[in-house]
Homo-oligomer: A and B are copies of this chain.
């Protein structure tokens, strides 16, 4: 099933409009190309209506947001929804500043994204109006663990129910949930947190997956999360002596590029509840 999601991306080459931060944008573009999608970036209010119109999905990321790009997010979001495109929200830094939190909440209310992907601190901020944060990283105190897994599954499912979106919370254990079904995913490696932007890359890739698999967005997002984690495992195995986080970044994108359906099916580690 995950393998079919992957093949649908490679077959249909979904064009994804990204309004994203300038820190990790190059990696997002290369990750989208690696998975079989096609990226385009635009954050000028006068440009985004045209650009999003020719795409299949819209990936909105609140990292390094500014007044201009925020305006673009709402314009593009409205247009994308009007056209029935998939919209994904990645609320980078929600909880770290009022502007980021408020922008993410307003996007949820006005654009109604189909998918929301963030770390646990960001999602807690959006769901509960609270949640600690350590900059753009999740606070350890918030982490999804084996000990609190049942409660976190329920939390995620309810937030999906409330928002009508597929919710993806990524960390040591990843959760992907709609109102009915939750995927608990255990792919990935801790070292991925020493690279900037693996979350941003996943958001781009997950948008492409959801666009290419319109009948099964939740499975598609779960497939993208497994893909990213598995690529993290494969990339790590390819590290050569003396290599560190910068080479690891390249090797993860390389692993996405080389992934096929059989490898994804075999390597994905998840349970469904």
Chain A interface (Cβ < 8 Å from any Cβ of B): 15, 21-27, 29-30, 33-34, 38-44, 46-47, 50-51, 54-55, 63-68, 93, 96-100, 133-137, 194-197, 234, 238, 242-247, 249-258
Contact = CB atoms under 8 A, between A and B. Distances in A.
13 contacts: A15-B134, A23-B29, A23-B39, A23-B41, A42-B64, A44-B67, A47-B66, A51-B97, A51-B135, A194-B257, A243-B254, A245-B254, A246-B249
A153 to B, nearest CB: 28
Contact of A46 (B22, B67, B134): B67
A230 to B, nearest CB: 13
A46 B99 contact: yes
A40 B134 CA distance: 10
Contact of A54 (B99, B135, B256): B135
A179 to B, nearest CB: 33
Contacts of A245: 30, 33-34, 253-254, 257
B247 A33 contact: no
A263 to B, nearest CB: 12
Among A134, A194, A246, chain B packs the most CB atoms within 10 A around the CB of: A246
Given A195-B30, A257-B244, A64 B46 contact: no
A139 to B, nearest CB: 11
A100 B196 CA distance: 28
A270 B25 CA distance: 35
A160 B97 CA distance: 34
A247 B24 CA distance: 16
Leading 4 A-B pairs by shortest Cβ distance: A244-B257, A244-B254, A50-B97, A246-B253
Given A46-B67, A64-B41, A67-B46, A30 B247 contact: no
